Amino acid sequence: MKKATFECKVITPMFMFGGDGGSVELRPSEFKGMMRFWWRAVKAEDDIKKLREEEAKLFGGTGEGEGRSRVRIRVTPNIPDNSWIGKYQPLPHSETKRFQFSCIREGLEFSVVISARRKIEFYKNIFIPSCILGGFGKRSRRGFGAIEILELNQKINLHYIRNLLASIDGEKFSIENSKLVNKSPGKGNYPWIREIEIGRKGYHNMKDILKKIGNASHKFRDPSLGNAKPRMASPIYVSVIKDGDVYKPIVVTLNSWFPSSYPKWDFEKQNKFRKEILYG
């Protein structure tokens, strides 16, 4: 069994819970799930059957003949007690909804060990962009649950991200007009990556960037940005990266696919939301 170890740090509060839905926990299944999610998003495959078959070969599956997972993940907090558990407001922009959820505090350092019999470099190449492009846990598409890999020693920019994605699925992305663009967009009805952008403005305070994201989400609220009933996750994924001591938003525009019964949506509000985060 080959192994790769990453030392990581939580940079925005993480709402990640155990099987009971209430106990705060660093769950290995969440990290593996995000690796699967971003692998699918990079692939932008037209043939969904082919996508699922390839995914099962890499990560395992529950279907007939798919077998157990090919990769294992262990996550260990580097603090022995529970001092890394706190509370935070999931709607930081709201003056009326001041409730808080239990969370994993920003600043927690933890180790992630990835084990696989084969293709360990491949799994490493999936794990790194998974940590850059998205957060973990609830409200991860609105800036929460962001982490950084401490040993990267690499400025996170579009050139670096393009190279990471190229190691997963060739030269599919190019940098155009200060954004990373998918040159070979698929036609599959699922959330694959269309564009990736990094915000121009930096924030010296973690609370400020979360409040900015929350305000924009409230201002441009629309089914095009996700919906509660029926449940649909937002196709605009907003996470947070660090550039030295500065927090910056990173926005991934995923393919928007809504069922025919979905409420009427307005893509103009989706565009305004994205621009508010990136340039506001």
Q: Considering the chain, what is the average pLDDT of its residues?
A: 92
| Structure confidence at residue 188 (pLDDT) | 85
User: 15: closest CA among 132, 108, 105?
Assistant: 105
CA 143/CA 238 separation, integer angstroms: 6
Burial of 267 (0-12, 13-18, 19+ CB in 10 A): exposed
Over 60: is that where the pLDDT of 66 sits?
A: no
Over 80: is that where the pLDDT of 91 sits?
A: yes
Q: Are 204 and 213 in contact (CB under 8 A)?
A: no
> Strand, helix or coil at 76?
strand
CA end-to-end distance (rounded Å), the chain: 48
* Bridge partners (DSSP) listed for residue 258: none
| Structure confidence at residue 63 (pLDDT) | 55
| Structure confidence at residue 250 (pLDDT) | 98
Average pLDDT over residues 128-138: 96
Our count of domains for the chain comes to 1
User: 130: closest CA among 181, 73, 213?
Assistant: 73
Q: Are 145 and 139 in contact (CB under 8 A)?
A: yes
| Structure confidence at residue 62 (pLDDT) | 61
Over 90: is that where the pLDDT of 112 sits?
A: yes
> Strand, helix or coil at 249?
strand
Omega before 90 within 30 of 0, i.e. cis: no
- Give 224-251 pLDDT, tens digit per residue: 999 988 899 999 999 999 999 999 999 9
Burial of 231 (0-12, 13-18, 19+ CB in 10 A): exposed
- Give 161-190 pLDDT, tens digit per residue: 999 999 998 889 999 999 999 998 878 889
User: 94: closest CA among 221, 244, 264, 242?
Assistant: 221
**Non-local CB neighbours of 259 within 8 Å, separated by 6+ positions:** 230
| Structure confidence at residue 81 (pLDDT) | 81
Residue 64 banded pLDDT, cuts 50, 70, 90: low
Over 70: is that where the pLDDT of 264 sits?
A: yes
Average pLDDT over residues 202-221: 95
| Structure confidence at residue 41 (pLDDT) | 95
| Structure confidence at residue 185 (pLDDT) | 83
**DSSP helix, strand, coil percent of the chain (3-state; round to 5):** 30, 25, 40
DSSP letter (8 states) at residue 66: T
Q: Are 200 and 177 in contact (CB under 8 A)?
A: no
Structural domain containing residue 42: 2-279
Over 90: is that where the pLDDT of 147 sits?
A: yes
| Structure confidence at residue 232 (pLDDT) | 92
Over 90: is that where the pLDDT of 82 sits?
A: no
Average pLDDT over residues 73-82: 88
DSSP letter (8 states) at residue 186: -
Over 80: is that where the pLDDT of 69 sits?
A: no
